[in-house]
């Protein structure tokens, strides 16, 4: 296991280096100038050139790239052009909200997706199964921003049950902050839960046809024991894969949701950074998100060994 872990960590370093390079190149190749955005539309070419020089944006790309890699190796992500503060600080300020949102959405997706998928597989062909299939296909097709705007329309505007947007007033406690995350978490979690329903159902159907399941039934075991102790236990590694991928994907989905609900999270920061061409923030945020994605995948792979005794590294 140790050898496997070391190999994976070495691989992570290579992956992160490639990500850093790709992100640097892409963010500098796309047209747009952060100095022009900062100064506003009335700025002349001379104003823009002066600001670029002050910000060090007129240095050759190769020099900027080396400086960027150098700071990443020192675990520093640079300073935001627009915010005038360190990228690490800006991310650290916003990460808790995005983490809360992602955990809530993931929890919702798993709590709905797995049981409903299992039930749908067990009741295959029934009216329930057909309804679940139809609803999950529709839910997987709905864009999260549309779900979000619809939730706002009814739960906030018509019924005044939940706040429209933002993250709570100054001095608000943790519970109040969480109420501002209910609708965003639903908007983010619903399409993901639909995917989990579909995969869980498929995995369960495969397993339910196995001989050992038939044997378990023939032995007279209670249906609940057959389903959870024998069938689901063998289906869960496939389910775990899609849950892991879905949860990692929620980080990307949070970008749109945070914009709709005006949540000051990492996603909102990335959108603003792209619109403003705030290169250090774009680079830093995407590096961090990629790192989290890679770590989640590593965690899922390690979890296989825990859940399935046949898996040995």
Partner 1 sequence: MDRPISSTRRNVLLGAAASAALPALLPIGRARAQSSSVLNIATTGDPGPLDPTPVTSDLLSEITQLFYETLYIFAPDFSISPLLAASLPDISEDGKRYVIKLRRGVPFHDGSTMNADDVAASLQRWGRLSPRGRTPWAYLDSISATDPLTVQIVLKQPYSPLVNLLAFPNGSPQIMPKRVATAPDPLKDFTGTGPFKLIEYKPDTWVRVGKFAQYVSPPGPANGYVGRRQALVDEVRFLPSPNPTTRADGLLAGQYHWADNLTPESYNRLQGKPDIQRGVLTAALWVLFIMNNKKGVMSNVLVRRAAQAAINCSDVLEAAFGDKSLWTLQGSIYPQGTAWYDPDAPGYNQGNSDKAAALLKQAGYNGEPIRVLTSVQYDYQYKTAQVIQANMTDAGFKIDLVVTDWATILQRRQNPDLWDAFVTGHGVVPEPSSITIFNPSYPGWWDTPAKHALLDAFTTESDPAKRVPLWHKLQAQFYIDVPTVKVGAGYTTFGASKRMSGYYPGIWPAFWNTKLSV
> Which range in 9-17, 244-252, 269-277, 283-291 contacts partner 1 by CB under 8 A?
269-277
Q: How far apart are the first and last CA of the chain?
A: 5
CB of 108 to partner 1, least distance (A): 19
- Phi and psi (nearest 5°) for 13? -65, -40
- Residue 95 as a binder of partner 1 (CB under 8 A): the answer is no
Cα of 28 vs its chain's centroid, Å? 25
Number of Cβ within a 10 Å radius of residue 259: 17
What is the nearest approach in angstroms of partner 1 to the Cβ of residue 77?
Answer: 16
- What is the smallest separation between the CB atom of 164 and partner 1, expressed in angstroms? 4
Q: Which of 55, 156, 205, 305 binds partner 1 (CB under 8 A)?
A: 156
Nearest-CA neighbor of 51 among 65, 67, 40? Answer: 40
Selected range binding partner 1 among 55-63, 204-212, 262-270, 297-305, rule: CB under 8 A: 262-270
Q: Give the one residue of 12, 95, 149, 221 binding partner 1; rule: CB under 8 A.
A: 149
Closest approach, Cβ 259 to partner 1, in A, equals 6
Under the binding rule (CB under 8 A), the answer on residue 32 touching partner 1 is yes
Give the number of other CB atoms < 10 A from CB of residue 271.
14
When asked if residue 73 is in the footprint of partner 1 (CB under 8 A), the reply is no
Q: Does 10 bind partner 1 (CB under 8 A)?
A: no
Binding of partner 1 by 201 (CB under 8 A):
no
Residue of the chain from 16, 69, 78, 82 that contacts partner 1 (CB under 8 A): 82
Residue 115: Cβ within 10 Å count: 12
Assign 219 to helix, strand or coil. Answer: coil
Neighbours of 31 (CB within 10 A): 5
Closest to partner 1 by CB, 160 or 312 = 160
Asked if 284 interacts with partner 1 (CB under 8 A), we say no
The smaller minimum CB distance to partner 1, of residues 2 and 44, is found at 44
Q: Which is nearer to partner 1, 61 or 222 (CB)?
A: 61
Please state, as a whole number, how many other Cβ atoms lie within 10 Å of the Cβ of residue 260. 20
CB 280 within 8 Å of CB 87: yes
User: Read out DSSP for 20-89?
Assistant: HHHHHHHHHHSS--HHHHHH-TT--HHHHHHHHHHHTTTS-HHHHHHHHHHHHHTT---B-TTT-SBHHH
Q: Is 31 in the site for partner 1 (CB under 8 A)?
A: yes
Tell me: does residue 307 bind partner 1 (CB under 8 A). no
Told to check if 96 binds partner 1 by CB under 8 A, we report: no
279 is a site residue for partner 1 (CB under 8 A): no
Tell me how crowded residue 190 is: count the other CB atoms within 10 A of its CB.
Answer: 22
74 binds partner 1 (CB under 8 A): no
* Residue 254 binds partner 1, judged by CB under 8 A: no
Return all residues near 167 (Cβ < 8 A) that are at least 6 apart. 97, 177, 180, 263, 264
Q: Does position 162 bind partner 1 by CB under 8 A?
A: yes
What residues between 209 and 238 interact with partner 1 by CB under 8 A? none
With contact defined as beta carbons under 8 Å apart, do 279 and 205 qualify? Answer: no
Query: Closer to partner 1 at the Cβ: 9 or 161?
Result: 161
Which positions touch partner 1 (CB under 8 A)?
30-34, 36-48, 82-84, 90, 93-94, 149, 152-153, 156-157, 160-170, 172, 176, 179-180, 259-262, 264, 268-269, 271-272, 275-277
């Amino acid at each position: 296991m140790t050898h496997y872990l070391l190999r994976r960590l070495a691989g992570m370093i290579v992956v992160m280096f490639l990500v850093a390079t790709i992100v640097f190149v892409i963010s500098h190749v796309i047209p747009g100038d952060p100095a022009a955005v900062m100064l506003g539309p009335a700025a002349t070419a001379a104003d823009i050139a002066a600001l670029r020089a002050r910000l060090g944006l007129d240095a050759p790309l190769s020099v900027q790239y080396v400086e960027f890699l150098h700071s990443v190796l020192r675990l520093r992500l640079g300073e935001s052009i627009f915010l005038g503060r360190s990228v690490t600080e800006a991310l650290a300020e916003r990460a808790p909200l995005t983490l809360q949102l992602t955990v809530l959405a993931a929890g919702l997706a798993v709590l709905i997706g797995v049981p409903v998928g299992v039930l749908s597989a067990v009741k295959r062909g029934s009216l329930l199964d057909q309804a679940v299939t139809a609803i999950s296909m529709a839910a997987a097709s709905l864009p999260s921003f549309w779900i979000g705007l619809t939730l706002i329309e009814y739960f906030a505007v018509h019924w005044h049950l939940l706040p429209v947007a933002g993250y709570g007033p100054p001095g608000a406690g943790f519970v109040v902050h969480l109420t501002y995350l209910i609708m965003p978490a639903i908007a983010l979690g619903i399409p993901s839960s639909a995917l989990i329903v579909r995969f869980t159902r498929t995995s369960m159907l495969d397993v339910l046809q196995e001989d050992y399941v038939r044997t378990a039934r023939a032995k007279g075991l209670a249906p609940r024991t057959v389903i959870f102790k024998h069938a689901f236990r063998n289906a869960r590694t496939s389910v775990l894969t899609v849950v892991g991928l879905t949860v990692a994907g929620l980080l990307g989905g949070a970008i749109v949701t945070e914009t709709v609900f005006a949540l000051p999270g990492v996603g909102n920061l990335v959108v603003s950074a792209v619109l403003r061409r705030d290169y250090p923030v774009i680079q830093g945020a995407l590096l961090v998100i990629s790192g989290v994605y890679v770590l989640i995948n590593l965690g899922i792979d390690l979890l296989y060994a825990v859940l399935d005794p046949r898996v040995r590294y």
